[in-house]
Amino acid sequence: MMILTNALSQPFSLKTLSLKNRIVMAPMTRNFAPEGIPGEANATYYRRRAEADVGLILSEGTVIDRPASRNMPGIPFFHGEAALAGWKQVIDGVHAAGGRMGPQIWHVGSVKGPGDWEPEASLIESPSGLEAPGKPRGHAMTEEDIADTIAAFARAAADAKRLGFDTFELHGAHGYLIDQFFWSGTNLRTDRYGGASIRERSRFAVEVVKAARQAVGPDFPIILRLSQWKQQEYTARLAETPDAMTDWLLPLVEAGVDILHCSQRRFWEPEFPEVDGADGLNFAGWAKKLTGAATISVGSVGLSSDFLGSFQGEGSATQGLDDLVRRLERQEFDLVAVGRALLSDPQWATKTLRADTAALKDFSPAAMMELV
Ligand SMILES: Cc1cc2nc3c(=O)[nH]c(=O)nc-3n(C[C@H](O)[C@H](O)[C@H](O)COP(=O)(O)O)c2cc1C
């Protein structure tokens, strides 16, 4: 147990970001920001995790200034005076408790939310007017829409820095807008934002990263979240080989990303087992090896089953961290993001760092219904 404590409790620093340990709170949409404004309850929720030893908190996805950038009514805005004042309260509370935090900057593209609520249909936008391969939703973005969207991402990046956040994360994963550009199934464009190769389809993301970098200057760390899987198709993959992964990731790092947040459902799954075997590197491991960037791993840390089940009402039992720590020690990745375990138990990091495993609780999906 002492080994576990040592690896996760090491400090980490990159540019202006310095973290007291390797534990990151994964971004989790809570749908608890009425009218898109984070209030006292949201600030308290994040401050509790900062008080209980989380090294870096990533906020729930919070959306840019585009007319249909969110798909649920309780998703917070990251634009407008009232919402930004709410976020200022959040980061001030986290800092007062000794924590570090970045907002996750998001545009859902044309992905439909789980409830009945929808933005006005004519405003929904995506690369090619598709939600999933062969499934129309929203309109194909014009060049002007694209330019305005890139500018809105950059304004959000500048606001994150101005409000005092320590970093920010661009949400480029899970089949939302940026990922809809990456994915050949949803990007059928014939202009410079489309193309047969992942490198061509990365142009939109590269431009977003460059604009964000321009907005925050050279020393402010930028995180980009990516996934092979899409919620529209869990088996989809953008990169089938390490070479394809280099084509995808390296231009993004060269454009200004400092930390790649590599979203997997199960962190222990090797990304290319045909290359380095069953105990091979996971997605974050390969991303670090191929680009030299720092990486965050994520997926069922401390729990026995992946997060998909939680949306179907399934619980998940606590699980030891030996394999995770072994990978951290071999420097496969730099940081570890924890989702559900920290959603249901604000004290998870403190307990884990003290190796007080007996105090850890199983995850119950009931936790998703309240902001504890
Ligand atoms: C309730 C819930 C909301 C989530 N919302 C987001 C989100 O806004 N942005 C994002 O990138 N991932 C989101 N995710 C995925 C998590 O960040 C994380 O990758 C996933 O839960 C796997 O980690 P875990 O197994 O530790 O829970 C969400 C997951 C859950 C359970």
pLDDT per residue over 92-139, tens digit each? 999 999 999 999 999 999 999 999 999 999 999 999 999 999 999 999
Task: Quote the pLDDT of residue 1.
Answer: 41
Please name the residue ranges forming H helices in 235-339: 242-255, 273-276, 283-291, 308-311, 322-329
**Ligand 1 pocket check for 63: Cβ under 6 Å:** no
Q: Among the options 45, 176, 193, 234, which is catalytic?
A: 176
* Ligand 1 in reach of 26 Cβ (< 6 A): yes
pLDDT in tens, 287-334: 999 999 999 999 999 999 999 988 889 999 999 999 999 999 999 999
Q: Is pLDDT above 70 for 5?
A: no
Q: What's the pLDDT tens digit per position in 6-28?
A: 799 999 999 999 999 999 999 99
Q: Are strands 23-25 and 139-140 parallel, antiparallel or unpaired?
A: unpaired
Decide: 56 in ligand 1 pocket, CB within 6 A. no
Ligand 1 pocket residue status of 225, Cβ below 6 Å = yes
Distances (CA, A) of 182 to 28, 41, 77, 101: 22, 36, 24, 27
Q: Whose CA is nearest to atom 30 of ligand 1?
A: 28
The reply to whether 45 belongs to the active site is no
Tokens for 161?
């820095």
The fraction of the chain above a pLDDT of 70, given in percent, is 99
Shortest-distance Cα residue to atom 5 of ligand 1 = 28
pLDDT at 3 over 60: no
